Structure 1
Amino acid sequence: MIQHKKKQRFVATLVNLRNDYYFNPMWFTSYRYLRAVAIISAFMAVTVTGKAQQPSIFLADPTIFADKGTFYLYGTGSSQGFPYYTSADGKIWRQEKDSTRRLALKRGEAYGNTGFWAPQVFKRGNNYYMAYTANEQIAIARATSPAGPFKQDTLLSLSSSGKQIDPFVFFDESGKIYLYHVKLQKGNRIFVAEMKPDLSDVIPGTAHECISSTEKWENTANAEWPVAEGPTVMKHKNLYYLIYSANDFRNKDYAVGYATSSSPTGPWKKYPGNPIISRHTVGYNGTGHGDVFYGKDGSMYYVFHTHRSPDTVAPRATAAVKLRFRSTANGEDVLEADSKSFRWLEVAR
């Protein structure tokens, strides 16, 4: 046990050293230190996982949907629509050999011609739906299979008073349906609106703000356009948990936190221990904008993206960590991420 704790402290030290080396301009003038960074990064990969790991799936804003024993992975990754992968265990993933069938939603068959971002897939009745961003608006397409093709009879976006992105549709126990989303208004701000029962649009006049970036960790660059985005909402016991990401996605400090509320519409109280996933916990930059899913073993996970490498943002790599609720004395369970469970999603070889 003592040896394991020493190893954890040593790895944490390496994480901080590596990040300081990469992002402190003083080090860039020295080849010796740049070489040291490469050695540290390689050693970390082996120390943390037991083997050298490299990302093999590059989808940003990922989401995983399980249906009839198969996992479906979608994300931002094509100007032509939304690529998808399938998996039997949620760990090793496969893609259609026919490249023309690798998109669950194709441009021209549903709303939008650019900026296909941040999909979410869910089932309602006998149909499958994809809520997504295109042209900096939100749309919902329908399919008879999780693999698509997701289409619209009429190519339309949802109502809006401006640009809006990052949809997450939540079905409450009350029977009401809520659309959590991000409005681009003096920053990226998370809003919620009630939806019509047929999912055709939001109900006018119901939208209001949930979360904006106000904490120090949420805007480490002191940007004039603060960012809070990528909402995922779930209910645990008597509380609603809103998981979100903060900072610009290009910032190494892009990270994940959460807020709680006794109502799906708020008000929301941010967890004082935020962020729960960051470069300081998992050792990789740009950690964020994902979704919750449950593995074959019933464990809860968060799938998200990171920067491609310590010095390159795109294409963003897809990873996952295990989540858990920890009971506390005041009765409000704390949501935690197990950084030791970090893994890249892998393509079958």
Structure 2
Amino acid sequence: MPRVRIVMCLLMITIISGSCKHQKTVFIPDNPLPVAFGDPFVLKTNNKYYLYGTTGGKAGFEAYSSDNLKDWKPEGDVYYGNNTNGWGNGAYWAPEVYEKEGKYYMFYSAQWKDNPNNEKENFKVGVAVANNPLGPFTDLSNKPIFDPGYPIIDANVYFENGKAYLYYSRCCYKHAVDSEVSAWAKEKGWYNEIEESWIYGVELKPDFSGIIGQPVVLLKPPVDMNNEHTKWESRSVLAKEANRRWNEGSVLFKDKDVYYMMYSANHFAGEYYAIGYATAQSPLGPFTKSVHNPVLEKNNIVTGTGHNSIIPDPDGKGWLCIYHGRTEKTGNDRQVFIDRMVIDKNGVLKVEGPTVSTK
């Protein structure tokens, strides 16, 4: 092989995976993305990527599209809360879009306008449908999917063997839980009680009109205070940031024969927001939290890293973790980040971030 050809081949290998014969694009993070979303979710369909997320006080959701996960085109509004069947009344959060049988379904949370007791937090989960990923999405019903009797947010859906499973977070609101941390905070005179958010799972009806069976508790904050593997989930309380502890923003996926549930803990608006994961042998658990948590947390540049979604890495060698975070430059605005994620031969999940582009 001529020397020039060898050099060119080596150069190509440095920027692509595989060989000169099998060329695949290697995704290199370029963070943060120029997208001010919280709770980001990426859908890949028809060789294109679509990005959805929480957009502050907006009464609905916007979307971006991309061919390469780096250059993102704003596509404008794709869901309006005042659509024909709109049941929400503010706080439209955490949209996730799934393709099924040629249609696109958006699961999201919002304040339910049916609020006879005037609850401050009356969040529920709904689903809207569209013929394409850019909408417009219209709610399937003029009410939420179901009412468990407490406020819920952060819908995530997992499909397997013809079944669909819904995962959600019970809000902290009016959900005080006794623990070593709550006793400690009360003794210090900081808080009289600590409210908690727990993650539940339940099977969905095939048409998404309701649930099958009763929701099961899958994850909740630790009862003990000083366990080295779980105490990171209490940082917001220990720093006197909030009288709440969270397990929220779940995303379920399967790698080999293991079910992985990633989740976020601590206050979403604070610096300690971080991501951990748990594993199980079935979609509804029981789940065991990893001793390697957290797998994504703040560093000296990025804070508030949390509420992620995942997609396969384009090079086929792992996964990508899509999450929001903040930098000194972005201030209080949540910005989207994408970092590589791998699961090693021992089944340990690792997120290679948070990273910031040096450009």
Which range, TM-score by smaller chain? 0.7 to 0.9
2:150 is aligned with 1:162: yes
SS in 1 for 2:352: strand
Look up the equivalent residue of 2:352 and give its one-letter code.
Answer: D
Look up the equivalent residue of 2:48 and give its one-letter code.
Answer: T
For 2:167, the equivalent position in structure 1 comes to 180
For 2:315, the equivalent position in structure 1 comes to 297
For 1:46, the equivalent position in structure 2 comes to none
Q: CA deviation at 1:163?
A: 0.5
For 2:66, the equivalent position in structure 1 comes to 87
Instruction: Identify which of 80, 92, 107 aligns with 1:131.
Output: 107
Aligned-pair Cα RMSD in Å: 2.3
User: Deviations for 1:165-189, whole angstroms, at most 9, x for unmatched residues?
Assistant: 000011123x322100001244111
| Mapped partners of 2:220, 2:137: distance in 1 | 32
2:55 is aligned with 1:77: yes
For 2:348, the equivalent position in structure 1 comes to 334
| Mapped partners of 1:153, 1:139: distance in 2 | 8
| Mapped partners of 1:114, 1:220: distance in 2 | 29
Which residues of structure 1 form unaligned runs of 5+?
Answer: 1-48, 97-101
Distance 1:153 1:334, change over 3 A: closer
Contact 1:285 1:310 in 2 (8 A): no
For 1:196, the equivalent position in structure 2 comes to 205
SS in 1 for 2:107: strand
Q: TM-score, normalised by structure 1?
A: 0.76
| Mapped partners of 1:229, 1:323: distance in 2 | 20
| Mapped partners of 2:32, 2:219: distance in 1 | 34
Distance 1:148 1:308, change over 3 A: farther
Q: CA deviation at 1:294?
A: 2.5
Which residues of structure 2 form unaligned runs of 5+?
Answer: 1-27, 112-122, 177-195, 223-229
For 1:103, the equivalent position in structure 2 comes to 77
Q: For 1:1-349, list aligned pairs within 5 A.
A: 56-78=34-56, 79-96=58-75, 102-109=76-83, 110-135=86-111, 136-160=123-147, 161-173=149-161, 175-184=162-171, 185-186=175-176, 187-203=196-212, 205-214=213-222, 215-222=230-237, 223-280=242-299, 283-298=301-316, 299-309=318-328, 312-313=331-332, 315-328=333-346, 333-339=347-353, 342-343=355-356
Give aligned pairs, total: 282
Look up the equivalent residue of 1:139 and give its one-letter code.
Answer: G
User: Deviations for 1:236-267, whole angstroms, at most 9, x for unmatched residues?
Assistant: 11110000000011221100010001111111
User: Deviations for 1:219-251, whole angstroms, at most 9, x for unmatched residues?
Assistant: 113253211100000011111000000001122
Q: TM-score, normalised by structure 2?
A: 0.74
Q: CA deviation at 1:57?
A: 1.2
Look up the equivalent residue of 1:210 and give its one-letter code.
Answer: L
Q: CA deviation at 1:197?
A: 1.3
Off by >6 Å, runs of 4+ in structure 1: none
| Range moving further from structure 2, 297-306 or 140-149 | 297-306
Q: CA deviation at 1:80?
A: 2.1
| Mapped partners of 1:183, 1:338: distance in 2 | 29
| Mapped partners of 1:55, 1:292: distance in 2 | 16
Look up the equivalent residue of 1:233 and give its one-letter code.
Answer: L
**What is the identity percentage for the equivalent residue pairs of Structure 1 and Structure 2?**
30
Contact 1:306 1:318 in 2 (8 A): yes
SS in 2 for 1:220: helix
| Mapped partners of 1:103, 1:50: distance in 2 | 26
Distance 1:158 1:256, change over 3 A: same
Distance 1:208 1:107, change over 3 A: same
